Structure 1
Amino acid sequence: MAQSRRLKRQRAKDLRELLEAKQAKRALSNSDCKAEAQMPKREAPPIATLTKEHQLEEAHQLLLEIKQAQIEATTLFEGVEARFTLMAQYRQLLCGNWPVHCRGWEALSNLLSLEV
């Protein structure tokens, strides 16, 4: 009888240990699940999104660059236009007076031919 009580106690002790081991294992598993649930998943790095203020500043900067390019182009065009105007004026001066010079040479040659 004493032996059967010891066997029963031993079995109960073994079962208790087995149950405790299973409970500990479950507790670890549950804590792992909770920890995984609390841990953030692997996420892509956040993409830097521009705020409206940054977008407006960037748009304003682009407009300033466009205006500057327009001013430079206009200045260049005005310089080219001024050169063409000067060239046209020189041509006018040279070619406009050319017939007078030609008439002068003709008159001079006529005078010379009369003297001879």
Structure 2
Amino acid sequence: MTEKIGIGIQEFDEIREGKCFYIDKTYFIREWWESKDKATLIARPRRFGKTLNMSMLKQFFSVDYEGREDLFEGLSIWEEKEYRQLQGTYPVISLSFANIKEKNFPMKLN
């Protein structure tokens, strides 16, 4: 079966469940986890997959996705037992501004 290209899909589970074409970026999970940074800034141009990557991170770590190994099987992160044991083990708070489309912000001057 030919994979579809999921244009505009920003949720990792939709890409995986819909059998859409996906370039494996799960190595980012390992890279980020091992860096042990206190804060991470992910700055990329528009349409570079920031929201999709954040969705991937959320669905990897969040207890809401515990037991969803089906989303990660066959991807690079799933090759190491250490990371398979991390999947679905943390409470995650996820905020996205992806759907906020304002051209300017009115400022009030006192």
Larger radius of gyration: 1
Is the structural similarity TM-score above 0.5? no
TM-score using structure 2 length: 0.17
Q: Name the structure where helix makes up a greater proportion of residues.
A: 1
Question: Which structure exhibits the higher relative contact order, with contacts defined as CA atoms closer than 8 Å and separated by 6 or more residues?
Answer: 2
TM-score using structure 1 length: 0.17
